[in-house]
Amino acid sequence: MVRYTSAHATHETAADTDARPAHDRSRTATTTRPTQPARRPRLSCRAAVLSAAALALSLPLAACASPSDGEGKGSGDGPSSSAAGSAYSPGPTPTVAPAAYRRALAAALGPLDSALHAVDSAHDGGPLNGALDAAAAKADTTAGALRSTATPDDALAGNSQLASALNALAQDLRSARGSGGRCAASPRVALGTARSPQSVKLAGRALTALGYDAALRLPRTERARHRRLANGAFVHDGSRGGLGRLTVKNGTGTDAVVTLTHGARAAFSVYVRSGSEATVRGVNNGSYTVYFTTGEDWSGAKSSFTRECRFEKFDDRAAFRTVRVAGGTQYTVLTFSLNKVIGGNAGTSAVPPGEFPS
């Protein structure tokens, strides 16, 4: 801000007296100008005549300068132009210390790593299902902890990706949980086809490459198997000594096993590949219920397919009988088609897996 000086009286100082001739020093004269009302300073530079003795009061040069001349540049009466024109600029926000993030990351991933290792070593069945449930819960908890963890700028993207991948892993761990039924793929096979384990690996590698160890020991997986028996092979073969004959045509897109039961016992079970047919000879006389199951990857231990399973039975029973007639013997020959055909006369019904005969 430019400051102006206004004066109403001028007093002669001792320095002025010394500068005058000696005959004038005996007199000390003070010239006083009548007091005038204060005037508003004007921007024009003009000398002010203050007395009849032609004593002039020179205003400081700063008072004659206009605001456009630099507003007191170099003067102690006002701020400099550089200071007046500058604005406060906050410094960069301090980032999270990498060491602190590493400690938080290790604390969050440690319990999950142990839970996943338990899945890796668990036996099939109940123990494996329990380990999968525990690991899924830990994966969700860890994902939440990562999202609330203060993260360095260079790790923000990787931290977010890892949290999302862990949520997806939790869902896949629960989905892989075996039902314990006959038609159930191994949980390790289900995990082998899931995408989340690979996503967890990629996110962990990205953080590790930046210096933040995010490695996890994911459970071992198994590839889907495609086990098949030879067409016409017997899965179960009881005593056959009759003359009856059964032909099965499998027009479905998957392999099938057909089982005939006599009462509560299975008489025989035959494997029929997709697009093929098989014939069983020597069927004994009697009335049979005809069951069939279709699917992929036949497991001998479970006596069932492990994928895409269906369990059904024909509504009508199959009756085989042998009679002697003039000139020979008459016996039954039946043909069953597993695919739906136009004009077919055999209905089918779904069967619970547990009720399907072994």
What dihedral angle (degrees, nearest 10) is formed by the CA atoms of 301, 307, 308, 313?
0
pLDDT digits over 34-43, tens only? Answer: 444 445 544 4
The owner of tokens 């088609």 is: 337
Q: What are phi and psi of 292, to 5 degrees?
A: -150, 150
Higher confidence at residue 241 or residue 92?
241
Q: Residue by residue, what is the 3-state secondary structure of 87-104?
A: CCCCCCCCCCCHHHHHHH
What's the pLDDT at 281? 96
In this prediction, residue 179 carries a pLDDT of 66
- Mean pLDDT over each residue of the chain, to the nearest integer: 79
Contact (Cβ atoms closer than 8 angstroms) between residue 196 and residue 168:
yes
DSSP 8-state symbol, 317: P
Degrees to nearest 5, angle at CA 118 with 167 and 140: 15
Given a cut of 90, whether residue 104 has pLDDT beyond it is yes
pLDDT tens for residues 13-62? Answer: 344 444 444 444 434 334 444 444 445 544 443 443 334 333 333 434 33
Q: Read off the pLDDT of each residue in 319-336 and give the average, rounded to a whole number.
A: 92
Residue 211 tokens, joined? 């210096």
Backbone angles phi, psi at 265, to 5 degrees: -110, 145
**What tokens does 164 get?**
């999302």
pLDDT at 181: 66
Contact status, residue 267 vs residue 284, Cβ threshold 8 Å: yes
Q: Which whole number is the average pLDDT over 140-152?
A: 97
**Average pLDDT, stretch 227-256?**
94
Is residue 344 very low, low, confident or very high in pLDDT (cuts 50, 70, 90)?
low
- 106: helix, coil or strand? helix
341 or 89: whose pLDDT is higher? 341
DSSP annotation of 356: S
Distance CA 293, CA 310 (A): 5
Which residue, among 236, 158, 234, has the nearest Cα to 200 in the 3D structure?
A: 158
- Over residues 202-211, the mean pLDDT reads 96
Instruction: Identify the band that residue 300 occupies on the pLDDT scale cut at 50, 70 and 90.
Output: confident
Which pLDDT does position 80 carry in this prediction? 44
Q: Per residue in 163-173, pLDDT tens?
A: 999 999 999 99
Helix or strand (DSSP H, E) at 16: helix 14-18
Residues ≥6 apart with Cβ < 8 Å to 347? 314, 315, 316
Q: Is the dihedral of CA 256, 257, 262, 267 positive or negative?
A: positive
